[in-house]
Amino acid sequence: MEENSPSIAMVPCPGTSHLITQIEFAKRFVGLHPAFHVTLLIPTLGPPSPSMNSILQSLPPSIHFTILPQVNPHDLPPNANPASLMLLTVTHSLPSLSQALASLTSQTHLVALVLDTFSIDAIEVAKRFNLPAYVYHPTTATTLAYLLYYPKLDDDGIVVSRKFGELELKEPLELPGCMPLHAHDLLDAIPETSDDLHGMLVQLSKGLHMVDGILVNSFVDLEPGPITALQNVCPVYPIGPIVQIESNISSDSSECLSWLDNQPKKSVLYVSFGSSGTLSQEQLNELAYGLEMSGHKFLWVVRAPNDGVANSSYFNSQKKGDPLEHLPKGFMDRTKGQGFVVRSWAPQIEVLRHGSTCGFLTHCGWNSTLESVVCGKPMIAWPLFAEQRMNAALLSEEFKVALRPKVKEKGIVEREEVSRVVKCLMEGDEGKEMGRRIEMFKDAAVKAFSKDGSSTRTLENVVTKWKTLKI
């Protein structure tokens, strides 16, 4: 790295999905501005996983990385939710982050520090080095609005009470420019960590109000109301949709693509709950029977069930053993020819881009959601945790590109309901209309990313600010 070459440093937070989207932003950035270098300074809770190592080793030459020393797990509170763990890991990594930045500033002309939303505490390090601090917010402008306004909800008398990690509201929450949000659409927590979550959200909000700018992984034609409203109160830059262009395809994962090659056009439902989402054994059974009952073709990424918290595998390895052993007895034989089951992981962007794929049953993580949008695939919204319920509300009620299954007692979606929404998406008039609508968003996404598109121009405006800084 040349001493006078301009560069930015980025601080992801733990969690593969957060790292991936920051890397994709870095690739987009250096692709548009090859004179720049990017260095990822990565806080960790444990040694890098094989998948993370594979991702990092395949970075282009102008993107570098440093894995910061691991945080001692004993320094973190027991039973903390994953969001708090992400935030605390970065907080405990600040001394090593300072050392890494000191070394970096001696080697290159550093013009900005770009943080993940959950790396917000690193703003104090940016100030110590007299660097502008920006946040790359990897999800929606609507979620950003919720975080920014969160501390005022109590002050304005909107919140009736907090119990079991849920907000109780007097009426639907109407943030500036956003669709009305009900209490069940908002960020959740497990009962033991509700106070932990509340304090974390206040901390995030405070930090977001202190940064020099917020880069949002959304685009104007997708969220015009929230983006315009936010830009009236703080420096917000919509630069999305930032998504993976391709997956690291292995020989095992290529089998599902070969299977798709032999299916009729728009005949397959892709089913996946992201890199960390898990279902209970009961829900796994109901989903399996529902897919079978629908009669439609499916490609399903199956993970071993977890009867605890849906996001309990966020930082942990998946259960040992074969996930297929947990499927209902005889399911694989009965659905032979109808479905293709993949263990734990599939090359998602290639599956969604494939002509045989008609729709996507998704957990509504924003990376997956945007990938579905840019590939023009309507969705069945099945949120599990974090901001996914808010994303599901946007997809089904605001964008109208997704169906949301009805949940029965104990939070279970029964097999008959699974079959109903699959049929509706794959063969019903509502599914066809959603397909037409998401094609419009797909075209808008392409336009936003074009040479003169809104997201490209917005990123150019940010880079112009960085180029003129005298550090």
Instruction: Write the DSSP assignment of 448-469 as a string of letters.
Output: HTSTTSHHHHHHHHHHHHHHT-
Q: 12-21, pLDDT tens digit by residue? A: 998 888 999 9
Residue spans of the domains in the chain: they are 6-240+449-467, 251-446
For the cut 90, the answer to whether the pLDDT of residue 198 exceeds it is no
What are the two backbone dihedrals, phi and then psi, of residue 77, each rounded to the nearest 5 degrees? -70, 145
Q: Place 162 in a pLDDT band, splitting at 50, 70 and 90.
A: confident
Q: Which of 33, 37, 64, 116 is catalytic?
A: 116
Q: Band of the pLDDT at 251, cuts 50, 70, 90?
A: low
* 60, 30 contact by CB (below 8 A): yes
E strand spans, 189-295? 213-216, 236-238, 268-272
Q: Respond yes or no: is residue 307 known to be catalytic.
A: no
Band of residue 266 on the pLDDT scale cut at 50, 70, 90: very high
Rounded Cα distance, 465 and 381, in Å: 39
- Confidence (pLDDT) at 470: 56
Distance CA 383, CA 255 (A): 28
Q: CB–CB of 416/395 below 8 Å?
A: no
**The predicted structure's pLDDT at residue 209:** 96
pLDDT tens sequence across 66-80: 999 999 988 888 877
- Within 10 Å of residue 460's Cβ, how many Cβ atoms? 13
Structure-model confidence comparison of residues 244 and 307, the more confident one = 244
Looking at 18, 33, 137, 296, which residue is catalytic? 18
Closest CA to 116 of 27, 26, 225: 26
For β-strands 339-343 and 159-163, DSSP reports them as unpaired
Arithmetic mean of pLDDT, 51-75: 91
Lowest mean pLDDT among 35-49, 125-139, 418-432: 35-49
Whether residue 191 is predicted with pLDDT greater than 50 in this model: the reply is: no
Go through 127-138 and write b for each residue having 16 or more CB atoms within 10 A of its CB, e for each that does not: eebebbbbbbbb
Most confident of 198-202, 312-316, 340-344, 416-420: 416-420
**Kind and range of the H or E run holding 368:** helix 366-375
Q: Which of 88, 87, 119, 85 is nearest to 312 (CA)?
A: 85
Least confident of 135-149, 305-319, 384-398: 305-319
Per-residue pLDDT tens over the stretch 326-339: 999 999 999 999 99
Measured distance CA(111)–CA(36) in Å, rounded: 10
Predicted confidence at residue 188, as pLDDT, reads 57
Q: Which two tokens stand for residue 320?
A: 């040992």
The overall average pLDDT reported for the chain is 91
Residue 129 has pLDDT above 90, yes or no: yes
What pLDDT score was predicted for residue 79?
A: 78
Whose CA is closest to 150, among 87, 184, 197?
197
Check pLDDT > 90 for residue 409: no
Q: What is the separation, in whole angstroms, between the first and last Cα of the chain?
A: 18
Q: Is the pLDDT of residue 348 over 90?
A: yes
Residue 276's pLDDT is 80
Helices (H), 67-192: 82-92, 94-105, 123-128, 141-155
- Is the pLDDT at 83 greater than 60, yes or no? yes
Mean pLDDT along residues 202-222: 96
Residue-level pLDDT at 189:
46
Let me know if 18 is a catalytic residue.
Answer: yes
Q: What's the pLDDT at 313?
A: 47
Identical fold for domains 6-240+449-467 and 251-446, yes or no, is yes
Task: Look at 62 and 80; give whichever has higher pLDDT.
Answer: 62
Residue 165: the pLDDT is: 60
Please say whether the beta carbons of 332 and 246 come within 8 A.
Answer: no
The residue with greater pLDDT, 441 or 307, is: 441
Two structure tokens written together for 106? 């001696």
Q: How much is the pLDDT for 192? A: 42
DSSP 315: S
Has domain 6-240+449-467 been given CATH number 3.40.50.2000? Answer: yes
In degrees to the nearest 10, what's the CA dihedral of 75, 94, 19, 146? Answer: 90
The pLDDT value recorded for residue 84 is 84
Q: In the prediction, which pLDDT does 82 show?
A: 81
Closest to 7 (Cα-Cα) out of 37, 40, 41, 42: 37
**Which of these CATH numbers, 3.40.1280.10, 3.40.50.2000, 3.40.50.1000, 3.40.50.720, describes 251-446?**
3.40.50.2000
Higher pLDDT, 189 or 160: 160
Q: Name the more confident of 189 and 368.
A: 368
Q: Give Cβ neighbours of residue 50 (< 8 Å, ≥ 6 apart).
A: none
Quick one: pLDDT at residue 193? 45
Residues 69/96, Cβ–Cβ less than 8 Å: yes
The pLDDT value given to residue 320: 57
